[in-house]
Amino acid sequence: MCKQHVNSILQILEETFPHAYCELHFSNPFELLIATILSAQTTDQKVNEVTAELFAQYPTPEKMLELTPSQLEGKIKKIGLFRTKAQHILETCRILVDKYQGNVPQDLHKLIELPGVGRKTAGVVLANAFGIPAFPVDTHVLRVSKRLGLSAHEDPFKVEKDLTSVISPDLWIDTHHRMIFLGRRICSAKKPRCKDCPLASLCPNHGDGSF
């Protein structure tokens, strides 16, 4: 895809969603890390409902470790895969305390070594907690990228490589958020609102009913 075409997409995304942001609620890097672990296969809205009370009582890894696995499960049971997530959260908290003095590392490779943390989660934390350029690829970014012809891959890492090769690092974070906003509000998985899409004229799959 030519650079001019990509720039046109980026410009329209900026005009349409100038203030796109991370919709998970958090007040420190630890809270964002936990919220993002919880968000796998769960809506941000549901995560925010659960973490409002959880973070009020347990805002640090040290405090979180006061909970037993069953107690934590009880507090996050509204979220899918809550048992596995509770185990990962407590294991992650232990590592943060033992290895990083309770701090969340600002390094991709150190983050993905934590239980329950993949490349997407690590990228979300780096971008939103620390302002470090990253381009996390979730289901929305993957879907929008494919429909717009920005990537033909299904593997998130390959999609990330495609996107970061044509988009300037200083635009990675904002573009990530804008693509998510587009995916959630217009370019939905089952019934994309192509008639309402500001990118329709640039989309090779505009109006394709196969999605």
The ranges of the chain annotated as CATH 1.10.340.30 are 29-130
Write down the pTM of the prediction.
Answer: 0.93
- CA neighbor of 86 nearest in space, from 68, 73, 67: 73
What distance separates the 2 farthest-apart alpha carbons in the chain? Answer: 54
Token pair of 164, please? 């970061």
**For residue 208, pLDDT beyond 60:** no
Distance CA 64, CA 53 (A): 12
Mean residue pLDDT across the chain: 95
CATH: 1.10.8.50, 1.10.10.60, 3.50.50.60, 1.10.1670.10. Which one for 3-20+135-202?
1.10.1670.10
Select from 1.10.340.30, 3.30.310.50, 1.10.10.10, 1.20.1050.140 the CATH code of 29-130.
1.10.340.30
**Mean per-residue pLDDT, 109-135:** 97
Catalogue the active-site residues. Answer: 120, 138
CATH 1.10.1670.10 domain extents, the chain: 3-20+135-202
pLDDT tens digits along 138-191: 999 999 999 999 999 999 999 999 999 999 999 999 999 999 999 999 999 999
DSSP string, 93-122: HHHHHHHHTTPPPS-HHHHTTSTT--HHHH
Whether residue 77 is predicted with pLDDT greater than 70 in this model: the reply is: yes
DSSP secondary structure code for residue 131 in this structure: -
DSSP codes, the chain: --HHHHHHHHHHHHHH-TT----S--SSHHHHHHHHHHTTTS-HHHHHHHHHHHHHH--SHHHHTTS-HHHHHHHHTTSTTHHHHHHHHHHHHHHHHHHHTTPPPS-HHHHTTSTT--HHHHHHHHHHHH--------HHHHHHHHHHTS---SSHHHHHHHHHHHS-GGGHHHHHHHHHHHHHHTS-SSS--GGG-TTGGG-TTTT-TT-
The first and second tokens of residue 65, run together, are: 């470790």
CB distance 24 to 38 below 8 Å: no
Query: Which helix (DSSP H) or strand (DSSP E) does residue 87 occupy?
Result: helix 82-100
- Residue 1 has a pLDDT of 65
